[in-house]
């Protein structure tokens, strides 16, 4: 039987494929904050996890409290904001309030892209796949319009917007080996941003080495049209 995580200053309860978990892991790593990571199987959620997670989802961040049980934070955006506000290290949000609000908006935009990505990777037939592909291409075209010279969303400074988009781009490291989705065609700034994020140590460390195999297995289980194209 799975047991609850042992006490630690910060414990990130995770799933191997979850992009929202990756956001939190990237933010913690950028801040050089020591943390433990505990992966769970979302198809067989342990009782201790269900007792802690109001939504039954990852990530959770367990924050040790003196003389009592750890505080539990849920939702990746909340966790990232908490890390930004409480952990010393480089700022991951702009100092200017207006620019900070703008970044939060683009983080939310990234979450809508993940919804379309779910449609792309789980589509078993061409019409649904094409619908998701066109939605994604349109949204990345909007991103292209707001990007500058890079290498990151805010130029030279890595931010939480980058932490949101890095897990999105990671999907395509596998997808590109299966089919030409043409989602990034004609978007040179988006493509350069993707390359810069893929080289970032915090981004690379946000998943385990078997991530591509796990993602491929996920596609197999969903009879993904992506795999049928590869055939």
* pLDDT tens track for 122-153: 999 999 999 999 999 999 999 999 999 999 99
Q: What are phi and psi of 154, to 5 degrees?
A: -100, 30
Going by their DSSP bridges, the two strands 10-14 and 60-65 should be labelled as antiparallel
The topology (CATH level 3) of 97-230 is: Glutathione S-transferase Yfyf (Class Pi); Chain A, domain 2 (1.20.1050)
Q: Where does CATH 1.20.1050.10 sit in the chain?
A: 97-230
Q: What pLDDT does 8 receive?
A: 62
Residue matched to tokens 């075209």: 141
65 by DSSP, 3-state: which?
Answer: strand
Helix, strand, coil percentages, rounded to 5, for the chain: 55, 10, 35
Looking at residue 5, what is its pLDDT?
45
pTM beyond 0.85, yes or no: yes
- Which parts of the chain register pLDDT below 50? 1-2, 4-7
CATH fold for domain 10-86: Glutaredoxin (3.40.30)
Q: Output the pLDDT for position 229.
A: 82
CA dihedral 9, 78, 218, 52 (to 10 degrees): 60
Active site residues: 18
pLDDT for res 3? 52
pLDDT of residue 67: 87
Q: Which of 183, 11, 32, 24 is nearest to 107 (CA)?
A: 24
What are the residue ranges of CATH 3.40.30.10 in the chain? 10-86
The answer, yes or no, to whether the previous bond of 59 is cis (omega within 30 of 0) is: yes
């Amino acid at each position: 039987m799975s047991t609850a995580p042992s006490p630690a200053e910060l414990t990130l309860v995770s799933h191997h494929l979850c992009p929202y978990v990756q956001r939190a892991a990237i933010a913690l790593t950028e801040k050089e904050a020591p943390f433990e990571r505990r992966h769970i199987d979302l198809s067989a959620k342990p009782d201790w996890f269900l007792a802690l997670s109001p939504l039954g989802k990852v990530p959770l961040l367990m924050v040790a409290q003196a003389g009592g049980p750890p505080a539990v934070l849920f939702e990746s955006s909340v966790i990232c904001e908490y890390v930004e506000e409480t952990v010393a290290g480089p700022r991951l949000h702009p100092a200017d309030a207006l620019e900070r609000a703008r970044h939060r908006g683009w983080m939310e935009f990234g979450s809508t892209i993940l919804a379309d990505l779910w449609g792309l990777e789980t589509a078993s037939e061409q019409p649904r796949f094409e619908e998701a592909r066109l939605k994604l291409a349109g949204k990345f075209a909007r991103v292209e319009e707001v990007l500058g010279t890079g290498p990151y969303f805010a130029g030279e400074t890595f931010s939480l917007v980058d932490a949101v988009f890095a897990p999105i781009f990671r999907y395509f490291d596998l997808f590109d080996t299966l089919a030409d989705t043409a989602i990034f065609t004609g978007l040179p700034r988006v493509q350069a941003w993707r390359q810069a994020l893929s080289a970032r140590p915090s981004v690379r460390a946000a998943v385990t080495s078997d991530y591509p195999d796990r993602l491929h297995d996920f596609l197999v289980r969903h009879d993904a049209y992506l795999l049928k194209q590869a055939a």
